[in-house]
Structure 1
């Protein structure tokens, strides 16, 4: 009987959007601890991005930070050109893992949401994910992995989150279609849906607002909100060879929120 396959030789490379802070940062560093190099994007804070590069180096891996507004598809061709240069610097022609993590928050009731609010969410959370993935498909290795980050809010409803959750729902459908269309290349595509996590997302409301923190704790089976260390290592694990047969799935990582 054949032994379970192990990781192929050679350093793996991941592209992580929104990798300078929060869940993206934790994912880059969790991958580094698993021996994976990274190309990650940041929106504007170069100092935060530089810190992630330094921390990855301290873990013995290389990380390259590239600026990108994932809501501006007009930047994508230039970005892909920069990715090719980054791959050259990593002595590679292709990469192995794509994590579509970058995002923005929005809180407003349906009756109060403007057209521009919805368009902005669409550009970042769906259109950007769709077309950035499309642009990068020629550079991802056969047998690679893609993870799209969604939200627990696609399963349960929380007033004021309809627009955001709807875009994440679209990404979950896109995930299944990507898995179907890329299956012939051996590329597995999954959704990771975090629950409420204590980061600076949404102005740090889960982390810094005691009342919100208490509410989340009460509706979560494990009794607390998540932290980045609950999510990044899980994504890194999902990308690994051990989980090669997981495909087209939505995996919620919420500590049992609203069950």
Structure 2
């Protein structure tokens, strides 16, 4: 078999049971990486994602790792260390993709303090401490890829708190790039736009009017697919992106230009 871009690499993708996270995990496995897929609740979806990767010759394993409470990062890395000890003897990781996130569709006047705390705990605090605790195991020349959102650059008052978390994640990315650059580790953010995932299914799927409106917001004239985002992540994870760091990559199809 010809060499693949990520042969010999180990990746961890949070929130990898469905949607964008699953597409990223599948693509990284296709490119040769051994991929740890984390999930919070949907065991059946996680198992299906794992089976899909393995049925195509990929290497992957599951980690049940809910995020959003104190100690979540330590629990995730402890699970990582024990999940596949014969393969991951040194506990190292080359690619860390912070994809897991939750949204809060509430305007400023309606968002509760509890809702605010929850969205920041999952979308900001968890990636922060996952990276912090990954530093001793993240190999030189590694990759940190944070899945942010086009909402970080487009005013959307109905999701103010969610957008704020993604702005914070972009700032975190910028500082990681500066701090970890001497080790050859890159850090970048990816901004998806409206993507056809289970999260958006209730208002987007089987609704031609909603699909047409969503497509009209993008310069490329369609709704995004999870593979559109996964392909960008695959580039950032590869050797080809070795000279790209501290950047925000817009993957919205040209939304709100």
TM range (shorter): over 0.9
Aligned-pair RMSD on alpha carbons? Answer: 1.8
Out of 73, 78, 101, the residue aligned to residue 76 of structure 1 is 73
Report the counterpart of residue 16 of structure 1 in structure 2: 13
C-alpha deviation, 1:92, in angstroms: 4.5
C-alpha deviation, 1:88, in angstroms: 2.2
C-alpha deviation, 1:8, in angstroms: 8.6
Q: Is residue 64–residue 86 contact of structure 1 (8 Å, CA) maintained in 2?
A: yes
Q: Does 1:55 align with 2:52?
A: yes
Out of 62, 65, 76, the residue aligned to residue 65 of structure 1 is 62
Superposition pairs for residues 156-235 of structure 1, below 5 Å? 156-202=154-200, 204-235=202-233
Structure 1 unpaired stretches of 5+: 1-5
Superposition pairs for residues 69-148 of structure 1, below 5 Å? 69-93=66-90, 94-148=92-146
C-alpha deviation, 1:55, in angstroms: 1.2
Rounded to whole Å, the distance in 1 between the matches of 2:133 and 2:60 is: 21
Say if 1:129 and 1:85 are closer, same or farther in 2 by CA, change over 3 A: same
Task: Report SS of the residue matched to 1:180.
Answer: helix
C-alpha deviation, 1:10, in angstroms: 5.2
Say if 1:140 and 1:208 are closer, same or farther in 2 by CA, change over 3 A: farther
C-alpha deviation, 1:108, in angstroms: 1.2
1:145-193 alpha-carbon deviations (Å, 9 max, x no partner): 0000100011111230111000100000000001111112111000001
Q: TM-score, normalised by structure 2?
A: 0.93
C-alpha deviation, 1:89, in angstroms: 3.5
Task: Report SS of the residue matched to 1:213.
Answer: helix
Q: Is residue 6–residue 238 contact of structure 2 (8 Å, CA) maintained in 1?
A: no
C-alpha deviation, 1:233, in angstroms: 1.8
* Greater mean deviation of Cα atoms: 144-153 or 106-115: 106-115
Q: TM-score, normalised by structure 1?
A: 0.92
Say if 1:113 and 1:208 are closer, same or farther in 2 by CA, change over 3 A: farther
Q: Is residue 105–residue 202 contact of structure 1 (8 Å, CA) maintained in 2?
A: no
| Residues matched between the structures, number | 254
Report the counterpart of residue 3 of structure 1 in structure 2: none
Rounded to whole Å, the distance in 1 between the matches of 2:26 and 2:7 is: 19
Structure 2 unpaired stretches of 5+: none
C-alpha deviation, 1:256, in angstroms: 0.8
* Greater mean deviation of Cα atoms: 223-232 or 205-214: 205-214
C-alpha deviation, 1:96, in angstroms: 0.5
Say if 1:204 and 1:89 are closer, same or farther in 2 by CA, change over 3 A: farther
